[in-house]
């Protein structure tokens, strides 16, 4: 099985961020781009989701860290099935972590997550089908 990684970063002004990273040579997947977010392609299987702060806030009940004074990301790993998502959360809890939020069934995607012992949030997602 090949995993993918999606690093989610809050941004204040999405067009400015897109312009900046375009200047560095990165491209963006238009299938996952709207006024709230864009998917920056880092490499095959590695993406950085640039999310405007209000949209980013919907993924956590914690305040968004100011990256100029603190470091924080949401790391998302792909899974092969809903069962694998749930199994990884269960194993994380058994190893000393805690479940993060409740499972989310979006139809095309199933997601859940955990907090590791250091407080980092890990999202796990089974993409049942890609949105059009």
Percent of the chain with pLDDT over 90: 51
pLDDT at residue 26, as a whole number: 84
pLDDT at residue 47, as a whole number: 93
pLDDT at residue 56, as a whole number: 94
**SS3 at position 111:** strand
Higher pLDDT, 52 or 21: 52
What token pair was written down for 69? 């004074």
Q: What is the mean pLDDT of residues 69-77?
A: 75
Instruction: Sheet with 121-127: list strands edge to edge.
Output: 27-29, 37-43, 46-52, 5-11, 74-78, 121-127, 109-115, 98-105
Q: What pTM was computed for the model?
A: 0.67
Task: Using the predicted structure, report yes or no on whether residue 76 has a pLDDT greater than 90.
Answer: no
Percent of the chain with pLDDT over 70: 95
Q: How confident is the model at residue 132 (pLDDT cuts 50, 70, 90)?
A: low
pLDDT at residue 131, as a whole number: 55
Burial zone of 69 (CB within 10 Å; 0-12 exposed, 13-18 middle, 19+ buried): exposed
pLDDT at residue 61, as a whole number: 92
Q: Which helix (H) or strand (E) holds 18?
A: helix 14-23
**pLDDT by residue (tens digit) across 6-44?**
889 888 899 999 988 898 878 999 999 999 999 999 888
């Amino acid at each position: 099985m090949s995993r993918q990684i999606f690093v989610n970063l809050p941004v204040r002004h999405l067009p400015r961020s897109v312009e900046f990273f375009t200047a560095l040579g990165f491209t963006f997947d238009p299938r996952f781009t709207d006024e709230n977010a864009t998917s920056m392609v880092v490499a095959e299987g590695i993406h950085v989701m640039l999310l405007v702060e209000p949209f980013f806030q919907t993924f956590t009940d914690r305040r968004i860290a100011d990256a100029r004074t603190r470091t924080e990301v949401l790391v998302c790993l792909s899974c092969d099935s809903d069962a694998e998502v749930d199994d990884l959360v269960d194993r994380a809890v058994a190893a000393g972590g805690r479940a993060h939020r409740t499972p989310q069934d979006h139809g095309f995607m199933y997601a859940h997550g955990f907090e590791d012992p250091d407080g980092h949030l890990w999202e796990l997602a089974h993409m049942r089908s890609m949105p059009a």
